[in-house]
A = this chain, B = another copy of it.
């Protein structure tokens, strides 16, 4: 099934907004075993006509985002109707929904908004619970040689829930009619192994296994490994992956490491506190990105200056003066000081040089010490080196710290 995606929006081409639709839709379609074969972005207005004509003639399904709103450059609906030779007429139910929304907000009605209720003949309305413009589904017309067309609103907040709630069931019906079987897949999120290293271990093991495709996607410190294919092959190779990387598999899903850690803390009834220098609060912020994390996050200290490390965490000034803030001794003292001063069960501490300034020969920019203090166990610490830009460095250190806590909570070895 060949799928194309056309995203419309001048702002996407002016670089003021990053196009997240392609990634979102690519991910959702992949779960159905489908792939986008071509994605195009066109500005608002009539340029969409050419892109649509190209796509329609070589695809089985064309997804279009944007251009369904009330302004004069929202022309997707009209261009599609014209191309397919369908008349447009107002849908009384959508019209009433739009009018009611305007009344409730005390806004004056206007004809421009009524345009959003126009529906091409034969189209199925996809309800929009987060905006006024509905989506539209035009089933394929084999006689006319036109593919399935699905028109979606531009704002991600409207498109994303609509896709999950309404479009996926439509696609499942299309797949069932086409007798296409949905492939089986599994995702492993693996921490602390490089993509090429992972591939060099797994690819040789793959020879002799049929009906299986491996996909890798690397991010700072993390690799998503995806197995797609025949259920038996996927399950058999999953066992191989688990055997080879058991301590490094963060999760067999697409949950983030912070979701995993918060969940493990909740299960164990434990809390964590943080003492951050070079990450500047990002560990605490990342943990507290998870809804409900307040029950497992105790408190955080952002101790950039030596004075703060001494005052707030009781790190000895002598130690700071002799070995320096970026050192194994200090980061251990930070973690232990943090644990002593809070009712948490674990304390994470980090101290490093995010750069671009502040490096030396012994401790170049990118050097970081990370410690984990735990009630009733020895403090663990280590030195790491990530010579990357400041923002990536912070994110990398956050993930490393959270992985350390994950290992502790799962009873896995902390060094690897």
Interface residues of A (CB under 8 A from B): 11-20, 22-30, 35-43, 47, 51, 54, 215, 217, 224, 274, 276, 279-285, 287-289, 291-294, 297-305, 307-308, 312, 342-343, 355-357, 390-391, 394
Contact = CB atoms under 8 A, between A and B. Distances in A.
B285 A281 contact: yes
A38 B47 CA distance: 9
Residue from A22, A287, A301, A355 with most neighbouring chain B CB atoms (10 Å): A22
A108 to B, nearest CB: 14
A299 B312 contact: yes
B280 A300 contact: yes
A268 to B, nearest CB: 18
A35 B285 CA distance: 37
Q: Pick the most buried of A14, A30, A215, A307: most chain B CB atoms within 10 A of its CB.
A: A14
B280 A297 contact: yes
A156 B39 CA distance: 19
Given A38-B47, A41-B22, A299 B304 contact: yes
A350 to B, nearest CB: 12
Contacts of A17: 23, 217
Contacts of A279: 285
A78 B74 CA distance: 39
Contacts of A312: 299
B16 A224 contact: yes
Contacts of A30: 14-15
Contact of A305 (B16, B298, B308, B357): B298
A43 B37 contact: yes
B12 A26 contact: yes
Given A15-B30, A39-B41, A42-B38, A281 B294 contact: no
Candidate in A30, A37, A42, A284 with the most chain B CB atoms within 10 angstroms: A284
Contacts of A43: 35, 37
A300 to B, nearest CB: 3
What 9 A-B pairs have minimum CB-CB distances, sorted nearest first? Answer: A15-B26, A300-B302, A280-B288, A281-B281, A15-B27, A281-B284, A16-B217, A281-B285, A299-B308
A354 to B, nearest CB: 8
B285 A11 contact: no
Contact of A302 (B51, B281, B390): B281
A29 B30 CA distance: 33
B15 A24 contact: yes
A47 B279 CA distance: 42
A274 to B, nearest CB: 7
A196 B305 CA distance: 43
Contacts of A36: 13
Given A11-B217, A299-B304, A284 B280 contact: yes
Contacts of A357: 291-292
Contact of A282 (B224, B281, B297, B307): B281
Contacts of A24: 15
A311 to B, nearest CB: 8
A280 B289 CA distance: 8
Contacts of A302: 274, 281, 284-285, 288, 297, 299-302
Contact of A14 (B14, B35, B291, B297): B35
Contacts of A298: 304-305, 308
Q: Which of A12, A35, A279, A304 has the most CB of B within 10 A?
A: A304
A168 to B, nearest CB: 14
A162 to B, nearest CB: 16
A39 B24 CA distance: 17
Given A297-B304, A298-B304, 6 more contacts: A14-B217, A16-B23, A19-B22, A35-B43, A38-B40, A299-B308
